[in-house]
C-alpha cells in the first residue's frame, strides 16, 4: 500500500516537472491552441498515465514468478549463462589482447573465427 502511495506521488512530481519543462521550452504551443483543447490534452495524458500505472500494479499482483514452469525456465536460463560466461570471457580476452602467438597481432581472420 505504501508503495502505491509513493508511486502516485512520484508520478505526480514527474507530471508537474513535465508541465514545467514543456512551458519553458515550448511557450508558443499555448498560443496556437485554445485553452479548452490544451486542458483536454492534459486530461487525456493523465488518463493514459493512470491506466499505465494501474496495469503495472495489476502485473505486480499477478506475478508469473509464482508459476513453477516459469521458474524452471529461469533456472535453466541461469545455468546456460553460467556455462557460457567463461567462454565469453576468454573470447573477450583474446580479442582485446595486444599480442597473439609469437608477438604477432591478432589477424582479422582470427578475430572473425573467435567472434563467429
Residue with cell 485553452: 35
> Which grid coordinates belong to 55?
496495469
52 with 95, same domain: the answer is: no
What is the extent of the structural domain holding 86?
68-115
9 with 45, same domain: the answer is: yes
78 with 36, same domain: the answer is: no
Task: Compute φ and ψ for 100, nearest 5 degrees.
Answer: -150, 135
Instruction: For residue 105, give the 3-state DSSP assignment.
Output: coil
27 with 79, same domain: the answer is: no
| Whole-number pLDDT of residue 96 | 78
Residue 115: which of 85, 101, 95, 100 has the closest Cα? Answer: 95
54 with 104, same domain: the answer is: no
Overall domain count for the chain: 2
| pTM as predicted | 0.30
34 with 56, same domain: the answer is: yes
9 with 57, same domain: the answer is: yes
| Whole-number pLDDT of residue 79 | 94
Q: How far apart are CA 109 and CA 116, in angstroms?
A: 10
What pLDDT tens digit does each residue of the chain (116 aa) get? 556 666 667 666 665 555 555 555 554 444 545 555 444 555 556 666 676 666 666 555 555 556 778 888 889 999 999 999 998 888 888 777 776 656 566 677 877 777 76
55 with 89, same domain: the answer is: no
Amino acid at each position: 500500500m505504501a508503495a502505491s502511495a509513493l508511486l502516485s506521488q512520484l508520478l505526480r512530481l514527474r507530471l508537474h516537472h513535465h508541465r514545467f519543462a514543456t512551458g519553458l521550452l515550448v511557450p508558443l504551443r499555448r498560443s496556437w491552441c485554445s485553452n479548452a483543447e490544451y486542458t483536454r490534452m492534459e486530461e487525456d495524458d493523465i488518463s493514459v498515465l493512470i491506466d499505465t500505472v494501474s496495469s503495472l500494479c495489476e502485473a505486480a499482483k499477478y506475478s508469473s514468478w509464482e508459476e513453477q514452469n516459469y521458474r524452471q525456465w529461469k533456472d535453466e536460463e541461469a545455468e546456460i549463462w553460467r556455462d557460457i560466461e567463461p567462454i565469453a570471457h576468454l573470447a573477450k580476452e583474446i580479442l582485446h589482447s595486444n599480442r597473439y602467438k609469437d608477438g604477432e597481432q591478432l589477424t582479422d581472420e582470427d578475430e572473425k573465427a573467435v567472434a563467429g
